[in-house]
Amino acid sequence: MGMMEPRGDETDDVLVRRAQGSERAAFDCLAARYRGMVRAMAFIRTRDDEAAEDLAQEALAKAWEKLPALQEPGAFRGWLQAITINACRNWSRGRQWPASLDELPEPPPDPAPGLLDGLLARERRALWRRALLEIPEANRLPLIMHVRGGQSYEEIARQLDVPVTTIEGRIHRARLQLRRLLRDDAAELLGEPRRYWQGED
């Protein structure tokens, strides 16, 4: 008799042990469970949708490669978060653009419009990043998972292993915090209509 297909409701440690036994389907269940979280973490650190998607793929591929070495299967979520953070750090070190306009040693005498626009966009992304980093991790991660990843409160609650009501409260607080820090720019950062944010107090 062949192996039973893994179920989406199996615990992390059960799925990890099955995946460590070379059951790729079990790892695919884990990847589906945590992909939104991984992508949100990458977006928080890169402010770039395409980079976040690439880094999510990279982190999950690295997790599959290194899974046999994970000694505590129940610690999978935190272990995957560490892999994601490391991938983001490597990505940041490889970037060639200056972090801000102030880092240019001397501006070119007649900068091309495309270069100037790119630097200004970079400056805005740096502002967004600083604002997000002022929001507690417990609040900003579910916010990004919801508004950028399109995940429901129920899905986020399962991934972060907290009650749905906790996620509702955290996302509400994160919105208010971001609104105070960025005003109308908060809508652009999160890809939402400005009229939505104008109703927030």
- 30-50 confidence digits (pLDDT tens): 999 999 999 988 988 887 788
Q: Helix (H, G, I), strand (E, B), or coil: what is residue 99?
A: coil
Q: Does residue 25 register a pLDDT over 80? A: yes
Pairwise CA distance, residues 19 & 15, whole Å: 6
Of 6-10, 112-116, 165-169, 180-184, minimum mean pLDDT range: 112-116
Q: Does residue 24 register a pLDDT over 70? A: yes
- 130-139 confidence digits (pLDDT tens): 777 788 888 8
Pick 94 or 58 by higher pLDDT.
58
Q: Does residue 178 register a pLDDT over 60? A: yes
Q: Which two tokens stand for residue 117?
A: 């626009």
CB 200 within 8 A of CB 176: yes
- From-to residues of CATH 1.10.1740.10 in the chain: 9-96
pLDDT of the residue at 123: 63
pLDDT band with cut points at 50, 70 and 90 for residue 56: very high
Domain 9-96 architecture: Orthogonal Bundle (1.10)
- Interaxial angle between packed helices 24-46 and 137-147, expressed in degrees from 0 to 180 and rounded to the nearest 10: 110
Q: Which two tokens stand for residue 131?
A: 């604002």
- From-to residues of CATH 1.10.10.10 in the chain: 113-191
Class of domain 113-191: mainly alpha
Cβ-based neighbour number of residue 148 at 10 Å: 19
Q: Does residue 165 register a pLDDT over 80? A: yes
- 61-85 confidence digits (pLDDT tens): 999 999 999 999 889 999 999 999 9
Phi, psi values for residue 75, rounded to 5°: -95, 15
